[in-house]
Amino acid sequence: MGTTSQQEMERYWNKNSRLGRPVSPHMTIYKWSLPMAMSITHRGTGIAMTAGVSLFGLAALALPGDFASHLDLIKSLSLGPALIYSAKFALAFPFMYHTWNGIRHLTWDIGKGFKIPQVYQSGVIVLALTLISTAALAAM
């Protein structure tokens, strides 16, 4: 008589536990690569921008006063230029990264740049353009 599916499953999990195998493929077993990190970052910046715009819109509806009064409040805090530049850089970075990486994806959509060296090269170009354009926007 054969074994039941439950017995087979128990034997499978006992073997994996004994051999110290992970339950499922996990980030710790993958070698991180630039395209992988950029894909994760692209999704993260998209989520962050969606949340930021949504929260800004809700705040604009819920908070008393208008934009000019909130801007005056920020000016009255007398924040240093380094802190203001850093905040502007942090706000501009997700937008610029998502934009440049989106253009990279559009070139992939037309069938260009799929060879591994081209993928890494376009990734480095996206990162350089992101940093340059973010720094320029934050300096405005």
N residues, the chain:
140
Residue type, 74: I
16 and 69 in contact (C-beta within 8 Å)? no
- Which phi and psi (to 5°) does residue 80 adopt? -70, 160
* Dihedral (Cα; 102, 105, 107, 111), 10-degree rounding: -170
Cα angle 85, 90, 92; round to 5: 90
**Does 98 belong to an annotated binding site?**
yes
Token duo for residue 69: 């009064």
Cite the annotated binding site by residue number: 98
Cite the annotated binding site for heme by residue number: 98
